[in-house]
Structure 1
Amino acid sequence: MIRMETRTLLVMAGIIACLHSAHGQKIEATIVETTVNNKANSYYTGNRAPLSREYFTRLPVTTFEPGGWLRKQLELQREGLTGHLGEISIWLSKNDNAWLNKEGQGKWGWEELPYWLKGYAEIGYLLNDKKMIGEAKFWISNVIRNQRQDGDFGPKVLRNGKRDLWTNMPMLWCLQSYYEFSGDKKVLSFMSRYFKWQLGVPDDQFLEDYWENSRGGDNMLSVYWLYSRTGENFLLDLATKIDRNTANWRQQNTLPNWHNVNIAQCFREPATYYLQSHKKADLEATYNNHRLIREIYGQVPGGMWGGDENSRKGHDDPRQAVETCGMVEQMTSDQFLIRFTGDAGWADNCEDVAFNTFPAAFMPDYRSLRYLTAPNMVVSDAKNHAPGIQNEGPFLMMNPFSSRCCQHNHSAGWAYYAGNAWMATPDNGLAFQLYTKGKLKATVGNGETVQVITETNYPFEESIEMKIVTSSQVQFPLYLRIPEWCDQPSVSLNGRKIPLSKSEGKYIALNGSWKNGDKLRLDLPMKIKVRQWVKNKNSVSVNYGPLTFSLKIDEQYVQKDSRETAIGDSKWQANANAEKWPSYEIYAASPWNYGLFLEKYDAIHSFTIKRKEWPKDDNPFVNSAAPIEISVKGKVIPSWKIDQYGLCAELPKSPVTTEAPETTLTLVPMGGARLRISAFPVVE
């Protein structure tokens, strides 16, 4: 659960445990709520005063080399749409592209290029892919080269005669990532010139259009990034100007608009400005926004909320969907807020979206995606399902040419997840936030370089093994996040268990001296938990650790011609081969309208867990390859059918009485289920 509290290091009486070795090694284990941010990390750039110090600092993009299933997802993206979108999307054409024109003129060019590039480039950096790095540098070098004399840059888009600055915001993020990778100082002077130009734009001409007005917080994040590296005081004045002209995300019982991507992207804006204002009300506003959208539309599993593109009152059933863009931006917000607040609850939410919602938005090969994905979704076709969903058009099918925003913006989801798996801490240590296999190489302690090699199939397994590689004994703190769902974590060093208190806390802080070859093991025992969504017809969802489970529905895939199913403004390049990029409809080939039959006084014992062999291709987000399945009894609910809009009808209120015979159901991880029922009625 995400909470807003005063962050202090809590060393509770009796919970410090020490482990000594024959080599004079000493490791202290302490349960803490978060880090103490009373100083700055010596090796990685965090916030510069007077900005509030971060509790955790993002490491440069090349610090961590992902492995396992996460690397597989990045490789699939490289071989799929992300890696080839520059060859097929007209918006990334190098002919008549406004991003390649010094005056910002051209037929093609708005948010699409930076949306794609921010993920494409980071995947290239993470995989050390020379071709991708070279392509990213082509675009970034041209953006820098084409900065105009007054400092402005990018497509010169006008809305009602006023300069639209939204498209530049994601491009600034591409430049920041490139700077971390390359150290090219031209990025700093480029951004400084642009921000001086922004400061001179009159308020009545600044952030006036819908998108830029909603999303000014992204502009502010780049301003703070630059300020923390250059210390130019005018940047703080610009941040205040941005906050003043951005939509009001501080309203108590409403939001400035109900567009799902705006919400996911910008509910963090008040917490971002809190870094400068130091006003508790700003931080509280972000928490209030997060609470509000989930209370009204988020009574569903999977970490997101319903409402389709724009949420509508009365449309809060689990069949309501969210854009793929919204998933990416929610995960990104979570990652920033871990750093700004020290609250591990944001990492819990990031995992929820990443494991349970995001992967299902794509075909398993990442060569097509759908615009909208819902927790309860039993058809994924090209039909118009409005007004059952808010969008009119073929928005539920898997399509390489889905709506052009998600078509390009999806690329950043896994790349940013990998880039925030590890973070630096104010006491020159490291924090493992998002558990995954890989290799970290970072500077710690008194300036020593250390590697941490991790082996795990988390979240499909309970254990994370870490090996310390160092040239000499080194002292630094290591923080391991305790997920909200785990109540009995355990840690072992070199085969010896370190005692831990059962007191509450969100991190295990291991502080002491580490030697080469030390082997650390974190165990996070998983249990079945049934979550009841009282506000949504008393429905239930089934969790096992961080994974939510869905009914296993046989999925029938029907291939379509992408030229016929392309959505409106998603256009082909002239030489693109459509046959290599098909679209798909998915239909249920087995019954889906089941309710769960749960033991009245002991619901947990209604379930049986079955573990299966790890998939040979390292991709667990496919029904047929799911390494965990759960069995439970259930009954068909005959009255729960496809409705007049071609969607699964809204949930019947539980408990539901049905005379149908009891049968055994198979549940699979929600993230691998392209068709799914994950919010279940309960039957009697």
Structure 2
Amino acid sequence: MACTSASSAGTVTVVDRPDIHAVNTNYMGYRAPLRPLNFIKLPVGNIRPEGWVRKFLELQRDGLTGHLGEISAWLEKDDNAWLTTGGDHGWEEVPYWLKGYSSLAYILNDPKMIEETKYWIEGVFASRQPDGYFGPVNERNGKRELWAQMIMLWCLQSYYEYSQDQRVIDLMTNYFRWQMTVPDDRLLEDFWENSRGGDNIISIYWLYSHTGDAFLLELAEKIHRNTADWTQSTSLPNWHNVNIAQCFREPATYYMQTGDSAMLKASYNVHRLIRRTFGQVPGGMFGADENARLGYIDPRQGVETCGLVEQMASDEIMLRITGDPLWAEHCEEVAFNSYPVAVMPDFKALRYITCPNHVVSDSKNHHPGIDNRGPFLSMNPFSSRCCQHNHAQGWPYFAEHLVLATPDNGVATALYAACKAVVKVADGKEITLHEETNYPFEEDIRFSVSTEGKVVFPFYFRIPSWTQKAKVCVNGEEVDAVPVAGKYLCIHREWSDGDCVELTFPMSLSMRTWQVNKNSVSVDYGPLTLSLKIAEKYVEKDSRETAIGDSKWQKDADPQKWPTTEIYSGSAWNYSLVLDKTEPLKHFEVIRKSWPADDYPFTVANVPLEVKAVGRLVPEWEIDETGLCGVLPEEDAARGDKEEITLIPMGAARLRISAFPNTRE
């Protein structure tokens, strides 16, 4: 890629956050008296991913996300309660799926998918009642349950970004007026809606920023006081993995209205509390294979696919609220290391539970090793109805956050992946940014600016905390300011057509020690955590025979077209790492390989990076009585002879050991 000739880089500064005292005149942030957002999401469709992210989106379209309407009984249109008043099926499944499906449709600009999205959205509009309520009526203990509506409101907001259809504003206004009429003792009483009221508040703030209707802030107070208390300092309202990943941000969301810093700190506290107690493992998540349980902290414990995508979404929201680079970095940790292997490489099936140490992916019941009872480790497209539908949001929402607007009419990149983005900057001038990279599998990221005429605006770049001696060049000339890890570098200048910014984030091997988990270690390379390379043996099964009990599928769903895949290890997995006594990673060798021709790096065969290391077998570390990878062996467990082993990024390893016992020699 050619850059224009070298020129002055303009004003270059290192900052903790963008300047939130300015007001973006191109994109709607939060309306006062709500606190301003640090970053503003662009309308869906303004960012067109390229490279491996686009490949993931295309696999979703051609795989389970795009074809779930042929499989799931919950998406069957006949007598669906989202399409027919009093229909016999319709709860969270339709909006769970539509949330990701619709964004995927808009991002890929796929006419067939956009038409399908519109069909369901029109059904939502047709469901409006004179009192303002919409959608299915679900009663729980004689009280109307509103969880499914919370999800559908997010679908409507994406649709509004795409269409500017005023009916969205009208529906949401009338629905929220209806919510105001519900007595507190009849509001958000059921488990899911009570935990997840923060999702309702986000939608209230979105609408308030569009209309300024004062009653909406009163409603937000009402929803907050009837939502589970996520501000406790040493405990949580419940220990359900998806609730934690999704609901820890509720206090931070409400902070935007109150300005009470204790609310913001509460969200940080929950994030740290669950990881301090159940998340001393790699991959960004925590052990809660339905619920977190005392004593179950080993890296063989897992988390739902729902938990993974909700954590990514929460990180993205927290990034917009706070501007804190921590949230971008954490989103990448989950996205690069955990979420890719929750699905099959062709995206035609997924598993309910994924673990940092995960050596069998079969259809057996592994309780009590896993909290929930059932076949939760196999890749089954007919099963696990929540994740089966909710998985869809993961990559589309990630793609929507690759480029962000800033309050000072500038632009920022906090999550990195190849894309093209159309953005309004300065006084409304439209530019195109082109990001070219194979990050996180390479160190270099290149941006080019396309603009008609010159334009002045600030451009912010997140400098990862894990990098040392980052380098930033404008048109081939290195900037004077020294990039600081964990902060943003802001380049404020007059930009011309063809201007180029090149980032280099040097990656190196590093190590984390999990003291509470028997001093096991994980090895990282930049944002990627490494796993033992294990030979994976795939065995197909009839999806109807391996689905959990509450699964339902359409009578014409073809299990041969949509098989379950079980994955078994074809090589030894029970290795400890041999570390050097004085320089632990001294003998580890990084080997870069060619980029895969199909742009899909998240498989054992395709991954373009591996690390040679030395290990020793630990004979007593075996599959345990529940059929799971045994808990980590004691530190003094007998070891075998030294062997060369290969590590690969854990996001490419559907079977993996990512937290290792070790010896220092």
TM-score, normalised on structure 2? 0.98
> Contact between 1:595 and 1:637, CA under 8 Å: does it hold in 2?
yes
Q: Which moved more, 1:111-120 or 1:600-609?
A: 600-609
Residue number among 62, 75, 78 corresponding to 2:58 in the alignment: 75
> Contact between 2:618 and 2:638, CA under 8 Å: does it hold in 1?
yes
Residue number among 331, 343, 347 corresponding to 2:312 in the alignment: 331
The Cα shift of 1:39 comes to: 2.3
1:534 aligns with 2:519: no
Q: Which residue of 1 aligns with 2:89?
A: 108
Summarize the Cα distance change of 1:556–1:503 in structure 2 as closer, same or farther, 3 Å threshold.
closer
Deviations 1:584-636 (A, max 9, x none): 11111100000000111011212100111101111000011010000100100
Distance 2:355 2:397 in 1: 23
Distance 1:617 1:500 in 2: 38
The Cα shift of 1:106 comes to: 1.4
> Contact between 2:444 and 2:504, CA under 8 Å: does it hold in 1?
yes
1:281 aligns with 2:262: yes
Distance 1:576 1:503 in 2: 53
Q: Which moved more, 1:113-122 or 1:480-489?
A: 480-489
Distance 1:88 1:23 in 2: 56
Q: Which residue of 2 aligns with 1:9?
A: none
Residue number among 647, 652, 655 corresponding to 1:667 in the alignment: 647
1:242 aligns with 2:240: no
Residue correspondence of structure 1 range 518-667 to structure 2 within 5 A: 518-654=499-635, 656=636, 658-667=638-647
Q: Which residue of 1 aligns with 2:477?
A: 496
Q: Which amino acid aligns with 1:560?
A: K
> Contact between 1:25 and 1:513, CA under 8 Å: does it hold in 2?
no
The secondary structure found in structure 2 opposite 1:311 is: coil
The Cα shift of 1:437 comes to: 0.5
Q: Which residue of 1 aligns with 2:465?
A: 484
Deviations 1:253-300 (A, max 9, x none): 000000000000000000000000111111111011111100000000
> Contact between 2:542 and 2:560, CA under 8 Å: does it hold in 1?
yes
Q: Which residue of 1 aligns with 2:386?
A: 405
Residue correspondence of structure 1 range 323-472 to structure 2 within 5 A: 323-472=304-453
Distance 1:403 1:478 in 2: 43
Q: Which amino acid aligns with 1:488?
A: K
The secondary structure found in structure 1 opposite 2:99 is: helix
Q: Which residue of 2 aligns with 1:94?
A: 77
Residue number among 272, 293, 299 corresponding to 1:312 in the alignment: 293
Deviations 1:293-325 (A, max 9, x none): 000000000000012111100000000000000
The Cα shift of 1:505 comes to: 5.2
Ranges of 4+ aligned residues in structure 1 off by more than 2 Å: 21-26, 499-505, 656-659
Distance 1:581 1:394 in 2: 17
Q: Which residue of 1 aligns with 2:244?
A: 263
The Cα shift of 1:483 comes to: 1.2
Distance 1:390 1:334 in 2: 26
Q: Which residue of 2 aligns with 1:678?
A: 658
The Cα shift of 1:657 comes to: 5.2
Q: Which residue of 2 aligns with 1:8?
A: none
> Contact between 1:596 and 1:683, CA under 8 Å: does it hold in 2?
yes
Summarize the Cα distance change of 1:600–1:26 in structure 2 as closer, same or farther, 3 Å threshold.
closer
Q: Which residue of 2 aligns with 1:170?
A: 151
> Contact between 2:463 and 2:483, CA under 8 Å: does it hold in 1?
no
The Cα shift of 1:569 comes to: 1.9
Distance 1:35 1:669 in 2: 32
> Contact between 1:482 and 1:507, CA under 8 Å: does it hold in 2?
yes
Distance 1:163 1:446 in 2: 47
Q: Which amino acid aligns with 1:160?
A: N
Q: Which amino acid aligns with 1:56?
A: F
Q: How many residue pairs align between the two structures?
A: 661
Distance 1:239 1:154 in 2: 21
Q: Which residue of 2 aligns with 1:16?
A: none
Distance 1:503 1:93 in 2: 52
1:55 aligns with 2:38: yes
The Cα shift of 1:502 comes to: 5.8
Q: Which amino acid aligns with 2:646?
A: T
Deviations 1:318-364 (A, max 9, x none): 00000000000000000000111111100010000000000010110
Q: Which amino acid aligns with 2:365?
A: N
Q: Which amino acid aligns with 1:219?
A: N
Identity in percent? 56
Q: Which residue of 1 aligns with 2:233?
A: 252
The secondary structure found in structure 2 opposite 1:98 is: coil
The Cα shift of 1:402 comes to: 2.4
Distance 2:486 2:517 in 1: 31
Deviations 1:401-453 (A, max 9, x none): 22100000000000000001111001100000111111011100122111111
Distance 2:44 2:639 in 1: 57
Q: Which moved more, 1:484-493 or 1:204-213?
A: 484-493
Distance 1:237 1:204 in 2: 17
Q: Which moved more, 1:601-610 or 1:507-516?
A: 601-610
The Cα shift of 1:503 comes to: 5.0
The secondary structure found in structure 1 opposite 2:516 is: coil
Distance 1:678 1:469 in 2: 42
Distance 2:325 2:182 in 1: 38
Deviations 1:162-191 (A, max 9, x none): 000000011000000000001111100110
The Cα shift of 1:658 comes to: 3.4
| Runs of at least 5 residues in structure 2 that lack an aligned partner in the other structure | none
Distance 1:659 1:435 in 2: 41
1:192 aligns with 2:205: no
The secondary structure found in structure 2 opposite 1:522 is: strand
Q: Which residue of 1 aligns with 2:139?
A: 158
> Contact between 2:22 and 2:408, CA under 8 Å: does it hold in 1?
yes
Taking only aligned residues, the RMSD between alpha carbons, in angstroms, comes to 1.2
The Cα shift of 1:24 comes to: 7.5
> Contact between 1:39 and 1:426, CA under 8 Å: does it hold in 2?
yes
Q: Which residue of 2 aligns with 1:120?
A: 101
Q: Which amino acid aligns with 2:333?
A: D
The Cα shift of 1:504 comes to: 5.7
Distance 2:89 2:653 in 1: 36
> Contact between 1:25 and 1:514, CA under 8 Å: does it hold in 2?
no
Summarize the Cα distance change of 1:384–1:122 in structure 2 as closer, same or farther, 3 Å threshold.
same
> Contact between 2:29 and 2:37, CA under 8 Å: does it hold in 1?
yes
Deviations 1:474-504 (A, max 9, x none): 1100000011211221111121211332656
TM-score, normalised on structure 1? 0.95
Q: Which amino acid aligns with 2:600?
A: N
Q: Which residue of 2 aligns with 1:34?
A: 17
The Cα shift of 1:653 comes to: 3.5
Q: Which residue of 1 aligns with 2:47?
A: 64
> Contact between 2:350 and 2:381, CA under 8 Å: does it hold in 1?
yes
Q: Which residue of 2 aligns with 1:10?
A: none
> Contact between 1:31 and 1:504, CA under 8 Å: does it hold in 2?
no
Q: Which amino acid aligns with 1:344?
A: P
Summarize the Cα distance change of 1:89–1:502 in structure 2 as closer, same or farther, 3 Å threshold.
closer
> Contact between 1:608 and 1:630, CA under 8 Å: does it hold in 2?
yes
The Cα shift of 1:66 comes to: 0.4
Q: Which amino acid aligns with 1:531?
A: R
Deviations 1:8-61 (A, max 9, x none): xxxxxxxxxxxxx98985522211111121122110010000100011111111
> Contact between 1:309 and 1:323, CA under 8 Å: does it hold in 2?
yes
